[in-house]
Chain A
Amino acid sequence: MENLDQKFNETIKMGLEIVKETEEDRLMTLSVGPQHPGSGHFRFTIKVDGDYVVYCDPDPGYVHRGEEKMCEYRNFIQNIPHLERPVIHDSTNITYSYSLAVEELANIQVPIRGQYIRALASELNRQVYTLYWLGIYGIFLGHSTMFMWPVGDRELFIDLLEALTGARVTHAFNIPGGVRNDMPEGFKDRCLSQVAYFEKRLDEYEDIFYNNPLFRQRTEGVGILTKEDAIKLGVTGSVLRASGIPFDVRKAEPYDIYNEVDFKVQYMKTCDSFARSMVPFLDMRESCQIIRQLLDKMPQSGEVRAKLQPNPKGPVGESYKRVESGRGALGYYIVSDGTPKPYRVKLSVGSFRNILALPHLLIGSKLADMPSIYWSLNYWPVEADR
């Protein structure tokens, strides 16, 4: 009899445990990436309860290349080509702040024309990156035209950059002390006409993509990152500006000749995915204006590059410089020990900072909102991994 009771109690216990397990079993664990069409070179594990995401754990590192370690083995100039690998679509900007930091270390003065050309290349490259980002956003929302149009128009800027730098995607154009080469002849007119055409296209984009009711339904009110949270999580770039904080490194801490350029910092106060997708678009418009001004104000002739030692090296010291890239503030922290090779290079990239907002936004949202939240964070997996 005793035995039977014991068994009964045990069964009840087991039964209760089974009930507990089924509660857990409601959750379905999905591994999004790295072989998922909606992830990129990146994985995040999510758990869904029905259609709601209850858990999210980002797991980057699939394209980690050890850029920071590689930097310690090459001298300051040799570092440039491999440093643009993390984000080849924005390769001018990622070498921009590196050049700035090295210039500060080695105390190099960049000629004015060099500064202008550098800023011009940076703006053109920002357009290239943003268009690509917009195209992928279209794919993520299932809008194939939204992929084809920006990627087609991206060719305009790639052609311009090819004429300017000699390479289509990975330019290695910025070097400490200026830029590698001067503008080709007739570049100004070509650039102006293509920018004018592109501005017309931007109006069409707004009509067809941003004013599409289905696009708005997908993005408006989705993934709200409040101002306080944005500050707390330390996000940057368009994600930050979409949360109502008009912070732009070009304005806050003008580098090179950006204090001579007149532009507005575009920001929105709705804090949702729509704002995060709209801010880069507004930035593209501003960039067009900046390109015009840069071409106007540029000195017609002069040096584009300071004369350097064969192996430039600075005194012992360190510098931290940042620029506004397509994904936000992009900072380099370089420590030099007086040799021609950096002692330590640290990239502080926008993507890596923005990814902190992903679990914050995804938990509690619907599974169907996952793509529109994830890609609106302006996250470039390769850059985050470095």
Chain B
Amino acid sequence: MSSNQSNTQNGSEQKGKGSESAQTSLLKKTETITPEFESSIVNQLVTRFTDKIVQVVYVRPGRTKILVPPNQIVQVARFLKDNLEFDHAESVSGTDYPKDNQIEVIYHLSSYSDEKLSSHVLALSTRVDRNDARLPTLIDVFKSTEYHERETFEMLGVYFEGHPRNERFLLPEDWADIPPLRKEFRIKGR
């Protein structure tokens, strides 16, 4: 664990600068043109939950990103599924921000049942502490996240509580290194 810690610091020193600026500006960025349909979705979310819980990162034509705290993600996801017709996850990915000491997990949600939403992808993101990365699983809400969450677990070391199998999926069974998509994991010779 101690070696991991030192790795973390090294990694954050190397990659940190860009990531922090990326994050802050992302949060502050406001689009000049806010499309109507997309903002109506966001408004529904914000009125259902407060804007303390649902932070709107950006609203673009066809793409929306919201940021919610980890303990609220299941409720938001359930609301998205039941009331807004988002019925499946296209991908689950994680981004490591060593400078903020956080991992961002992003669910790209979309819809097949609602035709208006078919061109729309909503990014439901949350941020967890990267030293103790734990998230409630969304497998009960979106069954389609099952393998994506397993992949995120092994690639970024985010433990999904309640997921039936937090196991190796793509990596070899005898993988004994840190999760490879964390920034302190360096490819040899690079």
Which A residues are within 8 Å of any B CB, using their own CB? 59-61, 64, 66, 68-70, 73, 230-234, 236, 240, 245, 247, 252-253, 316-320, 322, 329, 331, 333, 335-339, 343-344, 346, 348, 352-353, 355-356, 385-386
Contact = CB atoms under 8 A, between A and B. Distances in A.
A231 B111 CA distance: 8
Contact of A348 (B22, B91, B119, B180): B91
Nearest to B18: A337
Nearest to A243: B112
19 contacts: A59-B169, A61-B170, A61-B172, A73-B190, A230-B112, A231-B112, A234-B88, A234-B145, A247-B118, A253-B118, A320-B108, A333-B91, A333-B106, A338-B21, A343-B95, A344-B95, A346-B93, A385-B170, A386-B170
B62 A253 contact: yes
Nearest to B182: A69
Contacts of A348: 90-91, 93, 108
B89 interface: yes
A-B residue pairs, 3 tightest by C-beta: A234-B144, A348-B91, A234-B88
Contact of B26 (A230, A318, A346): A318
A247 B121 CA distance: 14
A66 B93 CA distance: 14
A316 B21 contact: yes
B90 A316 contact: no
A356 B172 CA distance: 20
Interface in B143-190: 143-148, 151, 155, 168-172, 180-181, 185, 187, 190
B56 to A, nearest CB: 14
A228 B138 CA distance: 18
B48 interface: no
Contacts of A73: 187, 190
Given A247-B118, A337-B18, A356 B147 contact: yes
A66 B172 CA distance: 12
B19 interface: yes
B34 interface: no
Contacts of B155: 68
A93 to B, nearest CB: 16
Majority-rule SS of A interface residues: mixed
A182 B113 CA distance: 40
B18 A240 contact: no
A249 to B, nearest CB: 9
Given A68-B181, A69-B180, A337 B112 contact: no
Majority-rule SS of B interface residues: mixed
A200 to B, nearest CB: 34
B144 A253 contact: no
Given A231-B112, A343-B95, A337 B21 contact: yes
Contact of B118 (A252, A336, A343): A252
B140 to A, nearest CB: 12
A73 B25 CA distance: 23
B22 A356 contact: no
Nearest to A253: B119
Contact of A338 (B18, B62, B89, B181): B18
Interface in B73-120: 87-91, 93, 95-96, 106, 108, 112-113, 118-119
A338 B88 contact: no
A68 B187 CA distance: 12
A346 B171 contact: no
B26 A316 contact: yes
B21 A69 contact: no
A234 B90 contact: yes
A335 B105 CA distance: 13
B90 A322 contact: yes
Nearest to A386: B170
Give the residue among A253, A319, A320, A336 with the most B Cβ atoms within 10 A: A320
A386 B91 CA distance: 14
B170 A337 contact: no
B49 interface: no
Contacts of B185: 69
Given A70-B187, A331-B90, A317 B26 contact: yes
Give the residue among B22, B108, B151, B155 with the most A Cβ atoms within 10 A: B22
Contacts of A352: 147-148, 151
Contacts of A66: 180, 187
A338 B144 CA distance: 32
Give the residue among B19, B89, B145 with the most A Cβ atoms within 10 A: B19
Contacts of A337: 18-19, 21-22
B123 interface: yes
Contacts of A232: 87-88, 143-144
Contacts of B90: 234, 236, 322, 329, 331, 348, 353
A61 B173 CA distance: 10
Given A61-B170, A70-B187, A322-B90, 16 more contacts: A59-B169, A60-B169, A61-B171, A69-B185, A234-B142, A247-B118, A316-B22, A316-B26, A320-B63, A320-B123, A322-B121, A333-B106, A335-B95, A337-B22, A338-B18, A348-B91
